[in-house]
Amino acid sequence: MYQVEHTFAALGDATRLAIIQQLAERETSLSELANPFSMSQTAVTKHVGILAQAGLVEINKRGRTRYCRLKTKPMQQAEQWLETYQKFWKENLNNLANYLDQEE
Amino acid sequence: MYQVEHTFAALGDATRLAIIQQLAERETSLSELANPFSMSQTAVTKHVGILAQAGLVEINKRGRTRYCRLKTKPMQQAEQWLETYQKFWKENLNNLANYLDQEE
DNA sequence: TTTATAGTCAACCATATAGTTGATTATCAA
DNA sequence: TTGATAATCAACTATATGGTTGACTATAAA
């Protein structure tokens, strides 16, 4: 079953966010993904593995190449989680003063 | 400076999400926060510390009690990050087919 | 003053994370 | 067939994370 904390944990790393930004452009192979980083391909592959395990990335093999593709659903659900709480905070009278406080 | 991955990392734990849910209700003391969990107060205090360091929680001392209050701005920014990419994916022609694929 | 409550602090443990390297397998292309 | 490219695997290191306990300090309340 889906648990939003896994999505947040997967997003909680600068390298992985950069990978996601690349995959938002287009499907990308592992070696191409690793290229811009000053770290080994093994390390990047591990990051992709963490994204895949969280359901954020799908890996497809064609020939000797592994192509990575973004899966947007978990991020949509994570956004929804934030959205729900955002609404709740804004409507919660007890916290309204606090909320306004923070706008300064 | 603000970096969204710190917010995501702070959100990437079930205990901390539960703490946030409680703080969305009202300002809560550390001991009160720790109460519902089957872990030591020290452990809960550490989680709150991580939330505080990520700017998601503010701690105020009154008497011997530490009251924790939610700070919504970082989560608003995290939501924006997701929102921006969401829009981008939906408008990206190259990925439209992939996106629709995932709707099945 | 005594006792209970709120919380901190330091030390420790187990496991996960983020990275490395070197050797190996699989595939493509000359 | 030979060599380059794509990627995996195993082993290892260092540090961070999530938790514990026991002793301590600070504050409130009887």
- The model's pLDDT over B72-81, given as tens digits with 9 standing for 90+, comes to 999 999 999 9
Q: Give pLDDT, residue B104.
A: 42
pLDDT, one tens digit per residue, over A86-96 is 877 776 645 55
CA distance A82 to chain B (A): 6
Nearest alpha carbon to residue B11 among B60, B57, B69, B66? B57
Q: Which residues lie closer than 8 Å to B37 by C-beta, 6 or more apart?
A: B15, B18, B43, B44
Q: What percent of chain A has pLDDT over 90?
A: 75
Tracing tokens 């921006």 back to the chain, one arrives at B84
Q: Do residue A102 and residue B73 have CB atoms under 8 angstroms apart?
A: yes
The CATH number of whichever domain residue A67 belongs to comes to: 1.10.10.10
Number of residues written out for chain B: 104
**Residue B92: band (very low, low, confident or very high) from pLDDT cuts 50, 70, 90:** low
- Mark yes or no for CB contact A26/B95 under 8 Å: yes
Q: Is strand D within 7 Å of residue A67 (CB)?
A: yes
Q: Of the candidates A13, A82, A98, which has its C-beta nearest B75's C-beta?
A: A82
CA distance B82 to chain A (A): 6
Averaged pLDDT, A41-64: 97
Domain that holds residue A40: 4-103
Q: What is the pLDDT of residue A27?
A: 94
The alpha carbon of residue A44 is apart from the nearest alpha carbon of chain B, in Å, by 17
Identify the pLDDT of residue B102: 56
List chain D nucleotides near protein: any atom < 7 Å from a Cβ: 5-11, 17-22, 26-28
Structure tokens at A100: 């306004």
Q: What is the mean pLDDT of chain B?
A: 89
Q: Which residue of A has its CA nearest to B101?
A: A71
A60 touches strand D (CB under 7 A): no
Question: How high is the pLDDT of residue B97?
Answer: 54
The β-bridge relationship of strands B57-62 and B65-70 is: antiparallel
Residue B101 has pLDDT above 60, yes or no: no
Nucleotide with minimal C1' distance from the CA of B39 is D19
b/e map B1-17, b = 16+ CB within 10 Å: eeebbbbbbbbbbebbb
Whole-number Å distance between alpha carbons of B21 and A80: 14
How many structural domains are present in chain A?
A: 1
pLDDT at B91: 67
A-interface mutation test, from B17, B28, B72, B96, most A Cβ less than 10 A away: B72
Give the tens place of pLDDT for each residue, A23-47: 999 999 999 999 999 999 999 999 9
Query: Would you say residue B8 has pLDDT above 80?
Result: yes
pLDDT of residue A104: 42
Question: Which of B7, B11, B68 is the best mutation test for A, with the most CBs of A within 10 A?
Answer: B11
Token pair of A37 as six digits: 């980083």
> Is A102's CB within 8 Å of B71's CB?
yes
